[in-house]
Structure 1
Amino acid sequence: MNEIVEEMNKFGSNLIFGVQIFNKIHEMIEEKKLALENAILLLKYIGYWKGLKNVWNIHFDASSLSGRFEKMIIDKNGKKEEKNDNLLVDLCECYFFLSYNFTSEMLSICVPRLLKAALKKEENDEAQKEVEMALLALRYICVYKFLRQKLYLSELKEIIKYHQEHHNLTQLAYQSAWQFLIFRMNIDGNMEEVIANELHFGREAARELEELTRCVDWKRKKEEERRGKESKEVLIIWRWINTLEEYFDSFKLWNAELVGLLGGILKLFLAAKDNYPDLRDECLITFGRAAKNTAVEIDALVKEGIVDLFFEEMKQFTLDEDIMWNCLNFFLKLSKRLKEEKEDEKKEEERKEAKRKVFKKMEEEGYEDAIASFKEIIDFLQQKYYYSISSDISDYFVNA
């Protein structure tokens, strides 16, 4: 079963883990054909795999097993026995891994329980695995589901700060803690100061991404490529990229640590470019979001080589449609920002200086000719991709 689950893709998981399978597991528990502890072990493994590969489905909520777990969680909450506490944590993990919609009651019970489990500071393998499971399950709270800060923030800060001093978490556990926090930031913006300047997200994400990038053999074997099987490090990198997309899409506080993070994403792009096209394209999408975000300093995009990267990609003799679209999207966002005048005198001078630098580079690299060569396919790219791009070539140019 473990091997089947590990090799299953997202389509396969949604096909197999439907309402019927969860109803069947519930029926087998009722008829004592399957022990509850074995059912929990199986469901936690399925949930762990789903969490690692960022797979979501909504079938569990409609099953009889979901109702059973909800009732057990409510009944066992408040009973102060160690055995009961362990079972309650297991139930909460299964519930978070498999559910999609969480009631306020479930959140108020499960979030504190999972955070308590994640606060364990022992460094043995068993304790690390328990912490990893708890943090991975917490990530499954929908990004749009509001949580009161008092329910999680002090505990998450303690978990992250302790790891920064003692390195007690696995890479997956640490990434999950950050992903939970960044996704909460989207609907609770006053956390950004804590994330950026107290917990140093830019520095930590850059270091983790660089370490993971070094650990991967980027010359993927054809058999692995055919089966879509990825190493654990690559799967964690995918989770980081998803987190960074969300962050660059919405953050408002710029600091110097983010310069290194942009450089880290660039190194990942170069490593993944030849054999991991999907990951390569996600890096380009992340840069596009950075170019759009007014908090990102354009000078950093120039100095870290991000602008050069897109110039180089555009000049290739053969380009696939994904790279074409990402290049056009990046320069459209960049050009728009360079054209927008600032009311603040200092920021306006910075914009003009950045504009001069980018324009000079565009002239040197023959940028306008490269963009003009894409004119005939812009309408096609607009039809293919969800996000539209301008069909007016002049929108991609920056006049000195």
Structure 2
Amino acid sequence: MINRRIEFSLLKSRLNEMIIEEEEKKEEKDERLLADLCECYLLLSSMFSNKLRSICVSCLLKVALNKEENEETQKEVEIAFMALSYISQYVEIKKDLFLNDMKEIIQYHQKHHNLTRLAYQSAWGFLMNRFYYNKSLEDYIANELHFGREAATELEELTRSVDWERKEEERGKGREEEDFIMRWIETLNNFFRNCRLWNEDFVKILSSISCIFRAAKDNHKEIRERCINFLQIATKIGAVKIDDLLKGKATDAVLEKIQQPTLDERVIFECFKFFIYISRRLKLKKKDEKEEMKRKEMVKKTFEKLEEEGYEDVIIGFQETFAFLNGIYFNSGKLSLNISDYLVDAC
């Protein structure tokens, strides 16, 4: 995490001056030094001028465009993308400064697999942070660069690499894959919060997150919390159909989790919010006759599934804890104290 004291320090001012001095040299410009300075600046600071923004992004994308596959180059590309991924989503960067380069880098990797795992994840992290100001990137990200397919593939590979039975104190080096999973979930959150388009690849993401949520069990608390938070966010997004949540096994995973005898309060809270949002969406009647018929069919399907799994009994069993959970997590949105708000009426 960035130490905010750096924002007003002499170190930041000196780095600023050195970057501009090196960039403005007409002869004997040291590109490696400039890249190092830009990386330090982005990793230490969250606020910078338009001029610094342009210099740093252009310089580091130039480093990232190097397609040599030797270890030294791969490490340089990795650090460049790490630094770029630290640029906050609230910092606006014009598309013409990065779009063509990012397309070339990602598509080349998809064919030749030249980037390290960290470099590739960081590349997507940088791109997702740009989505906040550039909603027009959505089609490009979803359909040209196939983000859903790529993210699902990465998550599936990482899931196979983690020893899910190993407890916190036993992990050691195995922590690396877990960190990658959490980085990917954060990247997905940045995209899904603003998502309007939808395709079948995103159902694969729901399936991957649901699988990880199941696997995390009691030994991976942070991953478990991030997974349910992601699934809960997904229920609020209009582009994510309830049927997609069913196909992606999200509802199965949350139902299974909420019935466990030992479950921490944060996960309980997020699980019930997940079902509240599903219930609210299914209760919204459609004006179009065909859409209303689809809604009723989905209500029936969901009702039967929840009834079969004993969901209503679970709700009643937890009713007395709702007020308690609201008292702990009031900043995260309150749970309803009315049981009917959690249920889907099959009529």
State whether structure 2 residue 215 is matched by structure 1 residue 285. no
Contact 2:39–2:80 (Cα < 8 Å) also in 1: yes
Residues 346 and 243 (structure 1), Cα distance of their counterparts in 2 relative to 1, 3 Å cut: farther
Measure how far apart 1:283 and its partner are.
Answer: 0.5
Q: Is the 8 A contact 1:139 1:177 kept in 2?
A: yes
Specify the SS of the correspondent of 1:374.
helix
Whether 1:268 and 2:212 are equivalent positions in the alignment is: yes
Alignment of 1:380 with 2:324, yes or no, is yes
Give me the CA root mean square deviation.
1.8
| Map of 1:27 onto structure 2 | none
Give the corresponding residue for 1:223. 169
Structure 2: distance between partners of 1:221 and 1:332: 32
- Counterpart contact for 2:213–2:227, Cα < 8 Å: yes
Name the counterpart of 1:161.
Answer: 107
Counterpart of 1:112 (choices 41, 58, 65) is 58
AA matched with 2:192: F
Superimposed CA distance per residue, residues 47-93 of structure 1 (whole angstroms, 9 cap, x where no aligned partner): xxxxxxxx333222222111111000011113356761110000000
Question: Residue 358 of structure 1: CA displacement?
Answer: 0.3
| Contact residue 224 and residue 267 of structure 2 kept, 8 A | no
Q: What's the CA shift for 1:238?
A: 1.2
Match of 1:371 among 315, 323, 336: 315
Select which of 300, 325, 339 maps to 2:269.
325
CA contact (8 A) 2:258 2:271 kept: yes
User: Which letter does structure 1 place at the counterpart of 2:314?
Assistant: A
Of 263, 269, 280, 1:336 maps to 280
Query: Of 80, 91, 98, which residue of structure 2 is paired with 1:145?
Result: 91
Query: Which string of whole-angstrom CA distances, capped at 9 and with x for unpartnered residues, describes residues 258-295 of structure 1?
Result: 11111111222222223111111111111101111110
Q: Is the 8 A contact 2:58 2:98 kept in 1?
A: yes
Matched AA of 1:383: G
Structure 2 residue aligned with 1:35: none
The answer as to 2:175 corresponding to 1:209 is: no
Q: Which residue of 2 aligns with 1:24?
A: none
1:180 and 1:120 map into 2 onto residues whose CA distance is 17
Residue 188 of structure 2 aligns with an amino acid whose one-letter code is: L
Give the aligned residue type for 1:330. Answer: F
Q: Secondary structure of the equivalent of 2:92?
A: coil
Shift of 1:379: 0.9
Name the counterpart of 1:245: 189
TM-score by length of 1: 0.82
Aligned residue identity for 2:310: G
Q: Does structure 1 residue 101 correspond to structure 2 residue 47?
A: yes
Partner of 1:193: 139
Offset at 1:150?
A: 0.5
1:260–1:82 Cα change, 3 Å: farther
Report the identity percentage: 51
Deviation at 1:193, TM superposition (A): 0.4
Deviates further, 125-134 or 334-343: 334-343
Q: Structure 1 residues 244, 346: closer, same or farther in 2, change over 3 A?
A: farther
Are 2:78 and 2:118, in contact at CA under 8 Å, matched by a contact in 1? Answer: yes
Q: Give the structure 2 partner of residue 356 of structure 1.
A: 300
CA shift for structure 1 position 127: 0.5
Q: Helix, strand or coil: the match of 1:319?
A: coil
Displacement of 1:344: 4.3
Candidates 185, 191, 201, aligned match of 1:257: 201
The amino acid that maps onto 1:348 is E
Count of matched residue pairs: 344
Contact 2:214–2:257 (CA under 8 A) maintained in structure 1? no
Counterpart of 1:84 in structure 2 is: 30
> What 5-or-longer segments of structure 1 have no aligned partner?
1-54
Q: What is the CA distance between 1:369 and its match in structure 2? A: 1.9
CA distance in 1, matches of 2:173, 2:292: 49
Amino acid at match of 1:353: E
Judge which range, 340-349 or 139-148, deviates more.
Answer: 340-349
Q: Give the direction of change, closer, same or farther, for the CA distance of 1:239–1:202 in structure 2 (3 Å limit).
A: same
Q: Decide whether the 8 Å contact of 2:129 with 2:190 is kept in 1.
A: yes
Aligned to 2:345: 399
Q: For structure 2, which runs of at least 5 residues remain unmatched after alignment?
A: none
Corresponding letter in the other structure for 1:219? E
Moved more, 156-165 or 351-360: 351-360
Contact (CA 8 Å) 1:375, 1:391: kept in 2 or not? yes
Q: Secondary structure of the residue that 2:4 maps to in structure 1?
A: coil
1:299 aligns with 2:275: no
Q: Which residue of structure 2 aligns with residue 37 of structure 1?
A: none
Distance 1:203 1:345, change over 3 A: farther
TM-score using structure 2 length: 0.94
| 1:310-353 CA distance string (max 9 Å, x none) | 22222223332122112111000111111112344444333222
Q: Does 1:133 align with 2:72?
A: no
Question: Structure 2 vs 1, CA of residues 333 and 167 (structure 1 numbering), >3 Å: closer, same or farther?
Answer: same
Give how far 1:216 is off. Answer: 2.2
User: Displacement, 1:119?
Assistant: 0.5
Aligned amino acid, residue 302 of structure 2: V
Distance in 1, matches of 2:168 and 2:56, equals: 42
